[in-house]
Amino acid sequence: MRSGRGQEIPLRLELRGITKRFGDLVANDHIDITVEPGEVHALLGENGAGKSTLMNQLYGLLPPDEGEILVNGEAKVFKSPRDAIAAGIGMVHQHFMLVPVFTVAENIALGAEEIRGGPLGILDRRRNRRDVLATSTKYGLPVDPDALVEDLPVGAQQRVEIVKALTRDVDLLILDEPTAVLTPQETDELLAVMRSLAETGKSIVFITHKLREVKAVADRITVIRRGRTVATAAPDTSEDELAALMVGREVSLEVSKTPAEPGREVLKISGLVVDDDRGVRAVDGVDLTVRAGEVLGIAGVQGNGQTELVEAIVGLRAIRTGVVELDNESLAGMSTKKILRSGVGYIPEDRSLDGVVKEFSVAENLVLDMYDRPPFGNAFKLNPKAINESAAERVTQFDIRTSSASATVGTLSGGNQQKVVVAREMSRPLRLMIASQPTRGVDVGSIEFIHSQIIHERDNGTAVLVVSSELDEVVGLADRIAVMYRGRILATVSPDMPREEIGLLMAGITGAEPAGEEEAE
Amino acid sequence: MTTEVEAPPPAKESSPKEDGFLTLFLKNLWSANTVTVTVLSIFLALVVGAVLMVVSDSEVLAKFAYFTSRPSDALQASWDLISGAYADLFKGAFFDPASFSAWFDGTGTWQAAFGPVSETLTYATPLVFTGLAVAIAFRGGLFNIGGQGQAVMGCVFGGVAGFAFHLPPGLHLIVALLFGLIGGALWGFIPGFLKARTGAHEVITSIMLNYTATLFLGWLILQSGVQDPERSDAISKTIATTAELPALPAPLRVHLGIVLAVVATAAVAWLINRSSFGFELRAVGVNPPAAKTAGMSVARTYTLLMVVAGGLAGLGGATQVLGTADKLTAQVAGNIGFDGLLVALLGRNKPWGTLFAAILYGALRAGGNLMQVDIGISLELVTVLQALIVIFIAAPAMVKAIFQLRAARSARLGASMSKGW
């Protein structure tokens, strides 16, 4: 659907006094933002700060309670995304809106199909396909129009979403947390695409909470906290300053810790082979040791077997061959319950799926793996008194921000949900602590807290295994880093090794000379 | 992108402090909580039922033919029909003032006065058990559609134990009830085990087992040793008096089963909310991966849960045979298993809610009988009423829209019920 507007008129967007309330909660409180043509404008804020609500109003998904939207100085009311698109505003959602079994061209045409044959309304697939290719070439966004979307990697699917928006002739593109699902390489590609789009005169609103990306790509940064614009900053503002603006207080992005004092070998893995759900080899001969009082970080792009490795250790996935030993005792064939109770703490990577039961209260979630052990209960009955008393204590100790311990976990922010998981796993004597993506989707303030808890656990003499696809996190926490690639540990290196070299290892490039202190295989 | 944000209430939201207790109470009453929606659903069903009654009565309909010239005729006739029918529904289900005054005058008996309540509770008793069997399974994420088969097996085991064994009174009853429980539990174990081991969907397997159980019953009552030797049709020997559930003196039919039903409700409520197994089943019910990650055995929970659910339905079947029917016939279990599904839905899968829903169902059934005898409205209309109630309950959004209720989070049953699939 071609709109009648001229192609190359630059778009200047102004939001004035946008206010949105949900009941007593003021999600947006008189927000003013101006996006100049050809500008990459970053909207920075923690989870729940009101960024997505604001953009949903701009895109016609929610009506604002107050305030106005001006496009090129003209006040507009968007009743649906269709109106927004007609005014030249496109949006790429965090969760893609693609039909997996359709081809790329079909997905892009969806909702704006080219029709021929007049009243017959025959789909003009050839013209659709041609449009896709034209847009794709024009903006340097390679997509294969005939590929099925379900076969594409996440980065490519996102490119399809962007091309889809661009074929609608939009001049302003909203990208909602676009890098949350991307690998570091894909993120770099996306940032480059954003820059080149801006150079062709398109404006981009980039919603994120990742400081590094903001600094790399934005022309201007608006920081939102609790529904208000707190600052408009230039990209040369330091990360610490931006973080402080976002959170509202000074935060330390560095993990502060003393050198580790490694003790005995707690976890010993040798020759471990594990398959994924489809029966494809995911972990292909891994050897690892984690000592008491040290943090071993596993770095790697997601999907290189880290998930399966961790699941095999805690007994959630069958071990094909190889040995997993906890203090010289084999864990093979033991149930997850038994493994957890023998002193293993486990923070799963997918918090909302595996970490918490959202319908349960905070108190119930805090005993999710201890409900049938004294003092919380026994094999037959629960002891609500002990559960509630302990919960009240944990809520204070771990700074869980909730109205009460009986509130359901689903009502908490991501960071506080994760604190519930951390509190649960760290409230019993541990020998081994496994933290998988411990701060994914967690706000800056909570990240700091969770990191300090992990280091605290290490200093108590627990062996800690941290898996993260955020290299910064691994480098910050770990005393040794194992780089995982395609189911193998390519090297175990020191966190002092330059980031670029670790990055190369993550991409599977081992280089000529071994740079690590000890080389696996 | 989710856009399902409730329309924000006006900004001048009054703070709780300003409200007196009564206004707060009324406000809560008129918010779309589950109780309000349930009550209004019943009301809506009665309204639609009234329209159906008028439409299906040819005499009343004839008066509508000259509605414009004399509207009072048609309205009067409609009102007489509807008020008479619903008055009968109430009299047949709860109490009839006339029979009470007769009892006080000495012209009637107390049995006649309490007859309606007795009938209501008699019909409700097995439904409490089969309703609980569906409700508890649902809380654990399983859609137990096999309540019928489990209840039939409860009838078979309880009934056979009732006439085949010769035991002292009391003990015999306990053994027979226990057999009913085991029969149902066995029939629940099969789909539970298959689900846990092979992932076979419990809806499919339990539906198939409904047929198996019903046909097994049909075959069994024709076998020698089971069939009544003095009868040629499909009917079993009579339950020994030692195995019968004690009942109030005839003609009242209500028996000890209703007490057992209340005890079972309390037990299920405790099991769900206070026991370790209940914690497991609730966790597995809403988030199996998290339960598994926390070390619970999802397979064990599914199996055990279906055993418990089947046992409950089996007990329901046993109370039907040992309390009401006193012999096995092909239709002995009636529709109690399937009605249990609706009862659980109406009770929102909560134990006490299920108990009240079963009593409501029993009341509709008992009152419907009188409605049929007295005014000649067919019993099917009562079934239609039951169905309407369920439809309105399953569509809380519709009820909310009709009554302009304020949004409340609790009334999201429709979504939660479909999750079982």
- Cβ contacts (< 8 Å) between A368 and chain B: which residues? 283, 290-291, 294
Residue A92 tokens read as: 């790429």
Picking from B355, B411, B386, the residue whose alpha carbon sits closest to that of residue B135 is: B355
Task: Calculate mean pLDDT across residues B228-250.
Answer: 90
- Cβ contacts (< 8 Å) between A377 and chain B: which residues? 276, 279
Rounded alpha-carbon distances, angstroms, from residue A328 to A289, A322, A332, B191: 11, 14, 12, 41
B12 vs A160: which has the higher pLDDT: A160
pLDDT surpassing 70 at residue B299: yes
Across the interface, of B6, B278, B289, the residue whose CB is closest to A353 is B289
What share of chain A has pLDDT > 70, as a percent? 95
Distance between CA atoms of A161 and A155, rounded to whole angstroms? 10
Question: B306, B144 in Cβ contact below 8 A?
Answer: yes
Q: What is the ipTM of this complex?
A: 0.79
Picking from A487, A446, A479, the residue whose alpha carbon sits closest to that of residue A463 is: A479
The alpha carbon of residue A464 is apart from the nearest alpha carbon of chain B, in Å, by 18
Domain range list for chain A: 1-88+170-251, 97-168, 265-506
Distance between CA atoms of A375 and A390, rounded to whole angstroms? 9
Q: Which residue of B has its CA nearest to A97?
A: B1
Say whether B287 and A353 touch across the interface (CB within 8 A).
Answer: yes
3-state secondary structure of A222: strand
Question: A355, A412 in Cβ contact below 8 A?
Answer: no
A203 alpha carbon, distance to own chain's centre? 24
CATH of domain A265-506: 3.40.50.300
Question: A345, A326 in Cβ contact below 8 A?
Answer: no
- For residue A6, the model assigns a pLDDT of 42
Confidence of residue B414 (pLDDT cuts 50, 70, 90): very low
Across the interface, of A95, A314, A381, the residue whose CB is closest to B274 is A381
Low-confidence ranges of chain A (pLDDT < 50): 1-7, 512-521
Across the interface, of A356, A359, A382, the residue whose CB is closest to B279 is A382
CATH architecture of A1-88+170-251: 3-Layer(aba) Sandwich (3.40)
pLDDT surpassing 80 at residue B7: no
Distance between CA atoms of B396 and B411, rounded to whole angstroms? 6
- For residue A316, the model assigns a pLDDT of 94
Domain range list for chain B: 29-93+356-412, 130-346
- Cβ contacts (< 8 Å) between A384 and chain B: which residues? 274
Confidence of residue B26 (pLDDT cuts 50, 70, 90): low
pLDDT surpassing 70 at residue B409: no
Q: Which pLDDT tens digit goes with each residue over B335-346?
A: 999 999 999 988
- For residue B30, the model assigns a pLDDT of 61
Confidence of residue B6 (pLDDT cuts 50, 70, 90): very low
Lookup result for tokens 């693609």? A98
The alpha carbon of residue A275 is apart from the nearest alpha carbon of chain B, in Å, by 18
Residue A39 tokens read as: 């500008």
Task: Give helix B379-394 / helix B396-403 axis angle, nearest 10°.
Answer: 90
Show the 3-state SS of chain B: CCCCCCCCCCCCCCCHHHCCHHHHHHHHHHECCHHHHHHHHHHHHHHHHHHHHHHHCHHHHHHHCCCCCCHHHHHHHHHHHHHHHHHHHHHHHCCCHHHHHHHHHCCCCHHHHHHHHHHHHHHHHHHHHHHHHHHHHHHCCCCCCCHHHHHHHHHHHHHHHHHHCCCCCCHHHHHHHHHHHHHHHHHHHHHHHHHHHHCCCHHHHHHHHHHHHHHHHHHHCCCCCCECCCCCCCEEEECCHHHCCCECCCCCCCECHHHHHHHHHHHHHHHHHHEHHHHHHHHHHHCHHHHHHCCCCHHHHHHHHHHHHHHHHHHHHHHHHHHHHCEEECCCCCCHHHHHHHHHHHCCCCHHHHHHHHHHHHHHHHHHHHHHHHHCCCHHHHHHHHHHHHHHHHCHHHHHHHHCCECCCCCCHHHHHHHHC
Beta strands in A5-59 (DSSP E): 13-22, 25-35, 40-44
* Inter-chain contacts counted by CB atoms under 8 A, chains A and B: 91
β-bridge pairing A321-326 and A265-275: antiparallel
- For residue B146, the model assigns a pLDDT of 95
Q: Which residue of A has its CA nearest to B275?
A: A381
- On whether any CB of chain B is under 8 Å from the CB of A249, the answer is no
Task: Calculate mean pLDDT across residues B388-396.
Answer: 78
- For residue B407, the model assigns a pLDDT of 54
Across the interface, of B276, B290, B292, the residue whose CB is closest to A371 is B276
- Cβ contacts (< 8 Å) between A21 and chain B: which residues? 8, 11
Burial letters A132-162, b for 16+ CB under 10 A, else e: bbebbeebebebbbeeebeebeebbbbbbbb
Task: Give helix B171-198 / helix B202-220 axis angle, nearest 10°.
Answer: 140
Residue A473 tokens read as: 């996190």
- On whether any CB of chain B is under 8 Å from the CB of A47, the answer is no
Say whether A359 and B3 touch across the interface (CB within 8 A).
Answer: no
Q: How many residues does chain A have?
A: 521
Distance between CA atoms of A493 and A475, rounded to whole angstroms? 10
Distance between CA atoms of B259 and A312, rounded to whole angstroms? 50
Across the interface, of A65, A369, A381, the residue whose CB is closest to B275 is A381
Cross-strand bridge partners of residue A45:
none
Q: Which residue of A has its CA nearest to B284?
A: A357
Say whether A354 and B9 touch across the interface (CB within 8 A).
Answer: no
Q: Which pLDDT tens digit goes with each residue over B197-224?
A: 999 999 999 999 999 999 999 999 999 8
The alpha carbon of residue B3 is apart from the nearest alpha carbon of chain A, in Å, by 7
Say whether A369 and B276 touch across the interface (CB within 8 A).
Answer: no
Question: B316, B128 in Cβ contact below 8 A?
Answer: yes
3-state secondary structure of A266: strand
The alpha carbon of residue B13 is apart from the nearest alpha carbon of chain A, in Å, by 8
Say whether A337 and B295 touch across the interface (CB within 8 A).
Answer: yes
Q: Which of A52, A382, A385, A427 to mutate to test the interface with B (most CBs of B within 10 A)?
A: A382
pLDDT surpassing 90 at residue B167: yes
Amino acid, single-letter form, for residue B293: T
- Cβ contacts (< 8 Å) between A65 and chain B: which residues? 8, 11
CB atoms within 10 A of CB A65: 16
Question: In this structure, what DSSP letter does residue B241 have?
Answer: G
- What is the torsional sign of CA B380, B385, B391, B393? negative
Distance between CA atoms of A405 and A393, rounded to whole angstroms? 10
Picking from B122, B333, B125, B324, the residue whose alpha carbon sits closest to that of residue B221 is: B333
- For residue B13, the model assigns a pLDDT of 39
Cβ-based interface (< 8 Å): residues of B facing A:
1, 3, 5-6, 8-9, 11, 13, 274-280, 282-283, 286-287, 289-297
Task: Calculate mean pLDDT across residues B325-332.
Answer: 91
Residue B300 tokens read as: 């064990």
- Cβ contacts (< 8 Å) between A56 and chain B: which residues? 1, 3
Picking from A254, A345, A297, A253, the residue whose alpha carbon sits closest to that of residue A479 is: A297
Residue B335 tokens read as: 């529709």
Cis peptide before B10 (omega within 30 of 0): no
Say whether A358 and B287 touch across the interface (CB within 8 A).
Answer: yes
pLDDT surpassing 70 at residue B22: no
- For residue A517, the model assigns a pLDDT of 43
